[in-house]
Amino acid sequence: MAYEKTLKLVTNLDRGAVEAKIAEIRDSALSSQLAELASLLTAVEGLPRAQMEARVKSALKWLADKPQHKSLLALLELVELNLPNLK
């Protein structure tokens, strides 16, 4: 029987935490040979909110039809929920 991690829903991440989460997702994508996904999430640190949001949305679309990577999708959705917190 397989067990999956439960994602804790956190909606109060600040910019540093959001950027760290994106870096974590990017590193996981690279280690899973998902170079296209990793490239969508490269150099997001310090970007204005709108640009970061566009990158995250593109990454979400890219992952939408790849159920084998649902853990990455869940992490990106967590990031998306926290984008309004960026200043």
Residue 7 domain-assigned (yes or no): no
Residue 27 domain-assigned (yes or no): yes
Residue 6 domain-assigned (yes or no): no
Residue 8 domain-assigned (yes or no): no
Name the token pair of 21: 């989460």
Predicted local distance difference test score (pLDDT) of residue 87:
77
* Number of domains within the chain: 1
Amino acid at 61: K
Residue 29 domain-assigned (yes or no): yes
Residue 9 domain-assigned (yes or no): no
Residue 62's domain comprises 15-85
Is the pLDDT score of 72 beyond 90? yes
Percentage of the residues of the chain whose pLDDT score is greater than 70 = 91
Residue 34 domain-assigned (yes or no): yes
**At 54, is the secondary structure helix, strand, or coil?**
helix
Predicted local distance difference test score (pLDDT) of residue 70:
92
Give the pLDDT mean for 17-36: 96
Under the banding of pLDDT at 50, 70 and 90, the label for residue 1 is very low
Record the pTM: 0.86
Predicted local distance difference test score (pLDDT) of residue 73:
95
Under a CB-based contact definition with an 8 Å cutoff, are residues 24 and 38 in contact?
Answer: no
Residue 4 domain-assigned (yes or no): no
Under the banding of pLDDT at 50, 70 and 90, the label for residue 2 is low
